[in-house]
Amino acid sequence: MPGRVVMEGGQYAPGAGGGRREEGAAVGGGGGDDHGYRGGPAPVSSAAEKDGVRGGMVNGGAAGMPQYDGPADAKDGPMPNGASARAPDDDFPPEIEHITPGFRSLSTLISREAQECYNGLVQLINDLADIPVPRLQANGVNNGAVSNGAGDVSPANLKKKKMLMEFAHKHRDIFVKILVLLRWSSRAEDVSRLIDINWWMTNQEHALEEAANWIGRIKLDMNSAKVPNPDLKTAFQVLSTGKADYMPSMGYIPPKPLTPREILKLLKNLNVLLSIRINLHENLPRHLWNWSIKSGRATFVVPSEFELDVAVTEDEPSSQFYFIDTRFLFQPSQDMTDGYLRRLLEARANDILATSGLTGCYDFLHGVVLTHKIAILRRQAVAMGRTTWANSIRVEPVHRMLIVQYWVDAPGKKSWIEFGISSGKRKDGRISFKGPQPSHLAVRWMRNGVEVKDASFNFDWSDLSMEVMLKQVVDAHSRYILSSAQAQLKAKGLTTAEISEGEDGPVLSAALGFGAIKLTTAICRQTGRMFFQPTTSNTAFIVAEMNRAPDRAARTGDRIHMGLCYALLGQIERRAAQYGWKQVRDFKFDMNNLKQAFKRDVARCSLFRTRGWTNKWAMAVVITASGDSWWVVGL
């Protein structure tokens, strides 16, 4: 939309033949405001104009109509006959909207350009002063060239002249444009009115188009509301007699219903056709070798996946198989007897049977089953994360893949299990003599951020249970930690350390000595936290250290051995107190010295003294990996 250039205070810029508007007048025309104008009063050329009559009004009456009653100078107010005189403005149409966006003040434009030109000139002078110019020699020779009055033609001087000319040319073009705007402003008022009229006409055209579209939409929406008139006459005849004489008849004769003998014969023929077709003309993949024919349909069974029923309608070997039914052979699964999924599956299966045959249909249903199994496991994992395994697992579904992270609050690197679909292709690209291996569900176990290559889980893919699968993975991780601890304990000489399967997972039972003290170590399935049974105050801090360790498999055996020593020492101290032996606490000794003195790998040592013993003697209880031993020592 073209803009207009006005002077400050709403005045138009002076130009050739242009006038000036009064202070505060509207930019768009008469009216005194920014809302619009009427285009000015209608021109009048008669003596009435000299008498102050405007717009063809004579003594307050309508144009061209004489006044028959009332005084001649009446303008407004009620007439003698009771009719009120209307104002002249009542007959005019609504005012046209005045367009003001895009207007800019010409004085502001000129002042800003003058300031810009001045700033540029100052900067140009400074730049010219920074360029050094070589001095001319007194004899008029400049670097071997004789000056003949043509001026300084050195490269620096030429560069200065070029900069000065470019600056002058640039701002000259701008001031020429401003001059054009000044001369154009003489007709700015007419152009502004033309812009307003054009905008008004555009809006009117748009309103007409919208009205037509709105009427069309109403007609389309009313189609659903149309109700045909009821045909009561035909309804009465059909309900009373069962027919109408004036209704046309197509002469259709319904077929006779088949007798049981005919149905049995038809099914036998279909069974023969299917048997000949499958045995002689079909090259079935080995995954569809488990099939049977019964009741006019061939049933293909894929263990732990699905059953597929197909049939034929022609005896031609190249004719198409048709999808009859399918059933999932795993639990939990969705019922496919009816519904939108069944109709969608049937249409897709028939299309594939027409193009790719039974092999393509198997590939399609096989992919559907694998994806459906992953979706079931994902729903079960999400439900577990909200109930029994809350705040213990994190489920991250990916396209045709499922990641379940367990022991989310455990320190160190994270552990998770991935369920995905493997293509079944060998890495070397070779194909077995039995044919290509189909895709299958694959599991990858990441333990402490490292993939376990030799992991083997007994997952039941026919009875899907995410909780059972996750328990197997967690138990395998717990067994790995406890096996590392068992190896560390046996390396210390502790032979009584066995792993057994408990109700809540594997446990490590260790005993110190000849069964004097036993300690069972287990790991919680949900949280992954380790704990001792029985739990005492002497072993509580050891459990806390094990749960804070980032790699619990590294030193768990040492901490279990320490827990056994503390438990045995605590039991000895309690029994010694019962028999009157007091523990010597004011004597400090070094563990290295004790190992050298007793010639053993001493884990813990405690001194006792009873009545009648002097301060130079004490009973020492030395605890090693093989158990406890008692010594009388001199201090």
Among 196-210, 279-293, 358-372, 513-527, the least confident range:
513-527
Residue 247 has pLDDT above 90, yes or no: no
Q: Are 532 and 544 in contact (CB under 8 A)?
A: no
Look up the CATH number of domain 476-572.
Answer: 3.30.457
| Top-confidence residue, 553 or 28 | 553
- pLDDT per residue as tens digits for the range 570-603: 888 888 888 888 888 777 777 777 777 776 777 7
DSSP code per residue over 502-518: ETTEEEEEEEETTTTEE
Q: What is the mean pLDDT of residues 608-612?
A: 82
Say what the pLDDT of residue 612 is.
Answer: 78
List the chain domain ranges.
Answer: 1-39+95-131+154-216, 256-425+437-464, 476-572, 573-634
Q: pLDDT per residue over 301-345, tens digit each?
A: 999 999 999 999 888 888 999 999 999 999 998 877 778 888 999
Query: What does the pLDDT average to over 76-83?
Result: 48
Asked whether the predicted pLDDT for residue 17 surpasses 50, the reply is: no
- 443: Cα separation from own chain's centroid: 26
- Residues 105-127 have pLDDT tens digits of 888 889 999 999 999 999 999 99
50-66 residue pLDDT tens: 344 333 333 333 344 44
Cα 340 to Cα 410: distance, rounded to the nearest angstrom: 45
Q: What percent of the chain lies above the pLDDT cut of 70? A: 80
Name the DSSP class of 277.
I
Report the distance separating Cα 241 and Cα 243, nearest Å. Answer: 6
Calculate the alpha carbon distances from 68 to 72, 91, 223, 345, 586 in Å. Answer: 9, 21, 59, 91, 137
Pairing of β 104-105 and β 141-142:
unpaired
